[in-house]
Amino acid sequence: MSTAKKIYDWFSKRSSLTAFLFLFIIAGIAFSGRSFLSFNSLANLMRKAASDGGFLALGMTFVILIGQIDLSVGAILAMGGVIMALFGNTHPLLGIFLGLLVGAVCGFANGFMVAKLKISSWIATLAMMLGLRGIVLLITNKKPIPIRNDILAVLGNATFFNINVLVFILVALTLICMLIARNTKFGFGIYAVGGNEDAAKMMGLSVDKIKIGAFVLCGTFSALAGMLLGSRLNTCQPTAGDSWETTAIAMCALGGIKLSGGEGKFSGTFFGILIITIIKTMFNYAGFLNSWWQNIIMGILIMVSIGVQSELFQGKETKQIKKKANA
C-alpha cells in the first residue's frame, strides 16, 4: 500500500479529526489577518470548547452510547452551579462535594426512570429538565448567586502557562473517559448494551446497572460543567445552560457517536466539541451574523448527520443487524 493511501485511510477512519482540521485550516486562512493562529486566540478557542458545553458532550456520550439520550444536562448544569454557590460561599469543599453529588443524584433518578420504570429516556429526561428548571428557580428566588469564596473563584479562572485550567480539565477528563470506555468492564458493558441490549442481557451483563451508571456519569459531568462555568463567570445563574443540551447532542453527533447506540469513541466527541466551537468562533469573527444563525446551522448539521446515518444510506450489514436486534 502506498504511503498516500495509508495516510488517506488513517484520516478517513477519523472523520471528526479530519473535519476539525479542515475547518481549522479554513479559519486560519480566512482570519489570518486577525491573528487567528496566535497563541492567545487558540488558547481562547480551547477554553471556549471547555466552558461552552464540552463537559456536557463528554457526559452525554456515555448516554448516547447505550442508545439513550439525556435532555436534562443543561438543567443539571444550572443545578450543580447553584448548589455549589449556595453552600460553597461559606464552606468551599462542601459546596464542591454537594454540587457533584446533586449531579450524580439527578443522573441516578434519570437512570432509574429509564432502567427500572421503563420510561423512554426522551420523556424521562424531558420531564427532569422541566422539573429541575423549576426547582432551581425556586431555590434561587430567580436571582443569580454570586461567588464570594476565593477557592471557588480560582476553580474556573486559574491559568497554567497562560492556558485556562478548564482546558486541562477537559483534556484530562477526555482521557479518563477514553480509559473507562476501552479498558474497564463497565466500558465494555456500555458498548454491549448500546450495540444489542437483548444480547447483553443474554450474556449475563447487568444491563440496568450499566444504564444507571451511564446516566450518573452524565449527571455528574453536567454538574461539574455548571460549577466551573459559575466559577468563571463569578456568578451562578439559575438559567445557566439553557438549551445547551442540544449543543451537546450536536457535538456528539458530529463526533461520530451514532444516536442508535453502540458506536463511537470519546476521541471523536473531543473533536466534535472542537468542531462546534470553531464554527461558533468563526461566527464571532465574521461578526455580522446573528448568533441565531448558529441555531440554524446546528439544526441543519444534526439533520444531515442523522439523515446520513439513516437506513437509506446504511450498509446492508448494519440494516440486518438492527433488524435482527429489533425482531
Partner 1 sequence: MADSRLARVDKVEKLRKYSVWILLSLMLILNLAITPNFFSMGMLNNLITQSCTIILTGMGMTMVISTGGIDISVGAVMALSGMVSVKMLPFGIIPSILSGILASLVFGSIAGFMVGRLRVSPMVVTLALLIGVRGVAQVLNDAKIFYISGANTDTYRLLGSYKVLGIFPVQLIPIFLAIGITFFILEKTVLGRYIQTVGDNPHSAKLAGISTTKTLLFVYMASAFFASIAGIFATAKIGAADGNSLGLLSELDAIAAVAVGGTSMAGGRAMVFGTVVGALIMQLITITVNMNNIPYEYAQVFKAIIIILAVYIQREKNS
Partner 2 sequence: MTREILLEMKGIVKTFPGVQALKGVDFFVGKGEVHALMGENGAGKSTLIKTLTGIYQKEAGTIIFDGKEINPKTTIEAQHEGISTIYQELNLSPFQTVYENLYLGREPLTKFGIVNRKKMISDSKKVLEDLGIHVDVTQPLRKFGTAVQQMVAIGRAISINAKLVIMDEPTSSLDTKEVEVLFGVIRRLKAKGIAVVFISHRLDEIFVICERVTILKDGELAGSLGIEELDQLKLISYMIGREAKQLERQKTNYTFDNVAEISSMKNIVQGVRLNGIGIDIKKGEVLGLAGLLGSGRTELAKILFGATHPDSGDIYWMGKHQKLKAPRDAIRLGIGFCTEDRKVEGIIPHLSVKENMTIALLPKISKMGIVSKKKQDLVVNEYIKRLEIKTPSANQPIRNLSGGNQQKVLLARWLCMNPKLIIMDEPTRGIDVGAKEEIEELILELASSGISVLMISSEIAELQRNCDRVVVIREGVKLKELIGRDINQDSIMAAIAGGSQTISREGTVNG
Q: Does 321 bind partner 2 (CB under 8 A)?
A: yes
> How far is 99 from 140, CA to CA, in rounded Å?
15
All residues at 6 or more sequence positions from 7 whose CB lies less than 8 Å from its CB, including other chains: none
241-280 binders of partner 1 (CB under 8 A): 243, 246, 249-250, 259
Q: Which of partner 2, partner 1, none is residue 162 near (CB under 5 to 8 Å by kind)?
A: none
Distance of alpha carbon 75 from alpha carbon 79, whole angstroms: 6
Q: Does 69 bind partner 1 (CB under 8 A)?
A: yes
Residue 262 interacting with partner 2 (CB under 8 A):
yes
176 binds partner 1 (CB under 8 A): no
50 DSSP assignment: I
For the bound state, the minimum distance from the C-beta of residue 206 to partner 2, rounded and expressed in Å, comes to: 9
Binding mask 202-241 for partner 2 (x = CB under 8 A): xxxx------------------------------------
Indicate the SS3 state at residue 164.
Answer: strand
Question: CA–CA separation, 313 vs 24, rounded Å?
Answer: 28
Binding segment toward partner 2, per CB under 8 A, in 16-24, 48-56, 69-77, 317-325:
317-325
Residue 52 or 197 having the CB closest to partner 2? 197
Beta-carbon contacts of 300 under 8 Å, excluding residues fewer than 6 positions away, are: none
Burial class for 246, CB neighbours closer than 10 Å (0-12, 13-18, 19+): middle
Q: What distance in Å separates the CA atoms of residue 103 and residue 32, rounded to the nearest whole number?
A: 41
Instruction: Check residue 15 for interaction with partner 1 (CB under 8 A).
Output: no
Of 135 and 180, which CB lies nearer to partner 1 in the complex structure? 135
198, 325 in Cβ contact below 8 A? yes
Residues that bind partner 2 (CB under 8 A): 179, 182-185, 187-189, 191-192, 194-196, 198-200, 202-205, 262-263, 317-318, 321, 324-325, 327
